[in-house]
Amino acid sequence: MLNNKKSKKLVKKIFTKNIILLVILVVVIVYLSFITDYEGLASFTPYFLFIQISIYLLGSGRTFDVFDPYHGVSILHLLYSSAALMFVAEARFIPQGDYINISHALEFSKVSLFIQITLSFVNNIFSNQKIQDFAPANNSGLKLERGSIRLALLILLALLMLQVGELNPIGISSYGDRVLDYNVNKRGQSTSGLTEFIEIFAQIGILFLSVYILIVESKKNHLRLFAVSIIGLLLVKYFLAGDRSSLVTCIFFLLIVRHYFVANLNIVYVLLCSIFGYVIFNLISIARVSSDPFEMIFIVTNYILENGITIFALDKSGELMAGANFIKLISEVDATGVRFGGNALDSILSFIPRFMMNREAYFGNETFVRWYYPEVFTQGGGHGYFLPMDGYWDFGVVGALVFMVVYLSILKHFYYLLLKNKSKIIYIFVYAVFFSQLIAFGMRSGVYAASKQFLIYAAPLVLIILLLRFENTKIRNRKVV
């Protein structure tokens, strides 16, 4: 009887939240219909951010788990969309220099509002489910895996030998020197995908095995020190190379393992990490023209002296400008129409390695640059690709909304699967890659490209864990005999 009353109370609360969300939607849409120029839009943008935050809070569940997909998707979406709208409302063009008609900027604000409310609706529906315990798992499930530590060390040493040149901080090339040529080769050579997979396999394997040793061998300080040194070396490499994607993966990997295995991260810790991460990643965007640490400091110092701390404002952050490309896409779709599934089809074909099938299909983030900025594409460059663009490009506003509903629903199901199995280390490790790729990386590269990236990153984890379990089974069988 008591549970029935609680259930009815919860349903009533969710219903009330959704009604408030609908009221906000109607009021803001009506208000936006009266805006006819950029002056009016510029005066509205600060309120737009506040409204987005309010919608996010109305969609939050009864408990707060920082790595619940809703928080990552919703917060990143409101930051990207608000930053883009602020920039365009002030400048009247996107960072690439393309002028934006006021009608397209207003369309973007409405679509972003619809998406933010849709995310809250979806999470409110999921919050009606039984709450799963996200307290840290104990290490009882790891005791059976201690026998495979020798194999883990052997694999780690082999991977380190394979990557010894790449991990040398002195010989690291800068992002500017490396990435353009790399992208040109990647798009033109049939074997580039295989080469990329081998490199990622080695580096994610090194990270995973280092964390694995750090957890399993908690009493052997020399092994723990070795593992910490390797992780530190990876962080230094990614920072000096300006490799933000790999740096994000590494940081999320460490935080998620700590959160679900050692101790939950409290809200103060999360806020401090978020602020620190925002500052660091904006500075990396400026400094990564060099890989020399002293020159990087010099570049950042000069930039701050010339521009002040305004570089950390939302509309000045190069990290958040992927949302502005959504406005560009809206203007192009208005002129040429949607693709009716063409983007999805091309993206599916892009999962096939080029050495297996010679294809002209690209993921949406590459097609966007290839079509609208061909010179940049030819040179190996790219632009941020805001996640909702995948759905919008195929079927307009409806496509974007349905796409985001399906996307968040899948993420939530994976999240609940993790909570049910968090005592098994493979679930924690795979979810760490899942969160970093499909949410953090996916928000500025599109979900299709991020999905392929997730599969590439998860493959070495699964393979190595299967090898360790096989070795562990052999050890147990010997003991029985």
- Structure confidence by residue, pLDDT tens digits, 274-302: 898 888 888 888 888 888 888 989 999 99
Measured between alpha carbons, how far is 445 from 323 in angstroms, rounded to an integer?
Answer: 11
- Structure confidence by residue, pLDDT tens digits, 25-72: 999 999 999 999 999 999 999 999 999 999 999 998 777 889 999 999
pLDDT for the residue 422:
80
- Structure confidence by residue, pLDDT tens digits, 44-53: 999 999 999 9
Average the pLDDT over 135-156 and give the result.
65
User: 3-state SS string over the chain?
Assistant: CHHHHHHHHHHHHHHHHHHHHHHHHHHHHHHHHCCCCHHHHHHHHHHHHHHHHHHHHHHCCCCCCCCCHHHHHHHHHHHHHHHHHHHHHHHCECCCCCECCHHHHHHHHHHHHHHHHHHHHHHHHHCCCCCCCCCCCCHHHHHHHHHHHHHHHHHHHHHHHHCCCCCCHHHCCCHHHHHHHHHHHHHHCCCHHHHHHHHHHHHHHHHHHHHHHHHHCCCCHHHHHHHHHHHHHHHHHHHHHCCHHHHHHHHHHHHHHHHHHHCCCCHHHHHHHHHHHHHHHHHHHHHCCCCCHHHHHHHHHHHHHHHHHHHHCHHHCHHHCHHHHHHHHHHHHHHHCCCCCHHHHHHHHCCCCCCCCCCCCCCHHHHHHHHHCHHHHHCCCCCCCCCCHHHHHHHHHHHHHHHHHHHHHHHHHHHHHHHHCCCCHHHHHHHHHHHHHHHHHHHHCCHHHHHHHHHHHHHHHHHHHHHHHHHHHHHHHHHHC
Q: How confident is the model at residue 404 (pLDDT cuts 50, 70, 90)?
A: very high
User: HSE (CB half, 13 Å, CA atoms) of 366?
Assistant: 19
The listed range with the strongest mean pLDDT (12-16, 228-232, 317-321, 457-461) is: 228-232
Average the pLDDT over 96-117 and give the result.
96
In the predicted structure, residue 361 carries a pLDDT above the cut 80 = no
Q: Which of 86-100, 164-178, 322-336, 364-378 has the lowest mean pLDDT?
A: 164-178
Q: How confident is the model at residue 164 (pLDDT cuts 50, 70, 90)?
A: confident
Helix axis angle, 389-420 relative to 425-435, nearest 10°?
A: 160
- Structure confidence by residue, pLDDT tens digits, 299-331: 999 988 888 877 788 888 888 889 999 999 999
pTM tops 0.85: yes
In the predicted structure, residue 474 carries a pLDDT above the cut 90 = no
pLDDT for the residue 120:
95
- Structure confidence by residue, pLDDT tens digits, 263-278: 888 888 888 988 988 8
Measured between alpha carbons, how far is 344 from 332 in angstroms, rounded to an integer?
Answer: 18
Count the neighbouring beta carbons within 10 Å of the beta carbon of residue 227: 22
Percentage above 90 pLDDT, the chain: 43
Q: How confident is the model at residue 357 (pLDDT cuts 50, 70, 90)?
A: low
The listed range with the strongest mean pLDDT (44-58, 154-168, 195-209, 376-390) is: 44-58
Q: How confident is the model at residue 419 (pLDDT cuts 50, 70, 90)?
A: confident
- Residue, of 2 and 181, whose pLDDT is higher: 181
pLDDT for the residue 1:
44
Q: Average per-residue pLDDT in the chain?
A: 85
pLDDT for the residue 467:
82
Q: How confident is the model at residue 468 (pLDDT cuts 50, 70, 90)?
A: confident
pLDDT for the residue 143:
45
pLDDT for the residue 162:
83
In the predicted structure, residue 193 carries a pLDDT above the cut 50 = yes
Domain boundaries, the chain: 2-126, 143-309+422-440+456-480
In the predicted structure, residue 261 carries a pLDDT above the cut 90 = no
Average the pLDDT over 389-398 and give the result.
96
- Structure confidence by residue, pLDDT tens digits, 199-248: 888 888 999 999 888 887 767 788 889 999 999 999 998 888 888 888 88
Q: How confident is the model at residue 105 (pLDDT cuts 50, 70, 90)?
A: very high
